[in-house]
Amino acid sequence: MIIDVHGHLSPPSSARRFPMPPSLTDPEAMVAEKAANGIDLTLIGSPVGGGAMLRVPGVDNYAQTRDQLRAFHDELAEMISRFPNALRGLVYVDPLGGDDLLEGAAETLADDAFVGLIVNSSVAGRYLDTPQADSFFALAAERDLPVLVHPPAEPVGSQATADFRLVEHLVRVNDVTAGIAAVIFGGWLEKYPTLKLIAPGAGGALSLLAEKLDLAARTPVRGGPPGGAPRTVSLTEPPSRQLRRIYVDTATPSALAVRSAVELFGADHVLFGTDSPPLPNVVGPIVRLVEELPVGDEARQQIFCDNAQGLFRLGVPARV
């Protein structure tokens, strides 16, 4: 059995409003491709809710209201209901959007179609070390909800990157790396020790930066944001140790990145993920990448299925 924790589908209303790959509105094709590669269940969500993942002038993804997001999730739930053995959903919410949006997300989670949350690693240029994120992390910890920390449509640095190919395959990876580091340095893992955060793409570059983050934590603060004093949180546990509480997925073409993630985070914190749709022609290669990892059968079973099944508390049929 294989569970893919990182897929995306969009309802027809989103496709009518914004440009997107056709694969995002074709659940039949997605389910068929996954089944052909041995994948039984895919968790789907949108990192923009009912917004736009591509740059659209005048569109602010973070201006979506509670009612708009509820309508989006109702459509997503209807799509999931057509494939009850093959799909589950993640609820999108702006982690800095305030209590009204968080209450709306909690209401949506009452639907059994949804098993976790999906949020952005940065919001309009701000990472989640800001105190404004406290209510979100409190909700995730209190409800014991896994959170896929997905890069946004406009990650930090995207405005300075003219080539969208680099935005999609480099700048977004950088946003995950810096975003998870900011969560650690913001003190959220220490304040809420039951948080279950998933960093996609093998965690970006985090598996290479444990010692650098420890060095940063030992370095005195020199300066801060323009016009204000730096916000610092005294950590009682080194970042390298806190990193081992983070889950990562395999949504990367790099076998080296996945091997490095297994070494740092442990096989019990690596989840199978493809980021497909929308990424084309990656499902089979990522299955083979995990099959060829230099790990034992038990660790491979953890990555393919057991970790996700336990983390999301999934009741999964034997086969689709």
We report the CATH number of the domain holding residue 277 as: 3.20.20.140
Tokens of 210: 């444990």
**Does residue 320 belong to any structural domain of this protein?**
no
Residue 207 CA, distance from chain mean position: 17
**Does residue 62 belong to any structural domain of this protein?**
yes
Which pLDDT does position 316 carry in this prediction? 54
**Does residue 41 belong to any structural domain of this protein?**
yes
Which pLDDT does position 234 carry in this prediction? 87
pTM above 0.85, yes or no: yes
> Which residues form the domain of 28?
3-220+231-311
Cβ(111)–Cβ(74) under 8 Å? no
**Does residue 316 belong to any structural domain of this protein?**
no
Which pLDDT does position 226 carry in this prediction? 59
**Does residue 225 belong to any structural domain of this protein?**
no
**Residues of the chain falling short of pLDDT 70:** 223-231, 315-320
**Does residue 319 belong to any structural domain of this protein?**
no
Which pLDDT does position 318 carry in this prediction? 41
**Does residue 87 belong to any structural domain of this protein?**
yes
Give me the sheet containing 247-249, strands edge to edge.
3-7, 41-44, 87-92, 114-120, 146-150, 196-199, 247-249, 270-271
Which pLDDT does position 58 carry in this prediction? 77
**Does residue 317 belong to any structural domain of this protein?**
no
pLDDT tens per residue, range 46-77? 999 998 877 777 789 999 999 999 999 999 99
* Structural domain count, the chain: 1
Cβ(147)–Cβ(117) under 8 Å? yes
d(CA 77, CA 114): 8
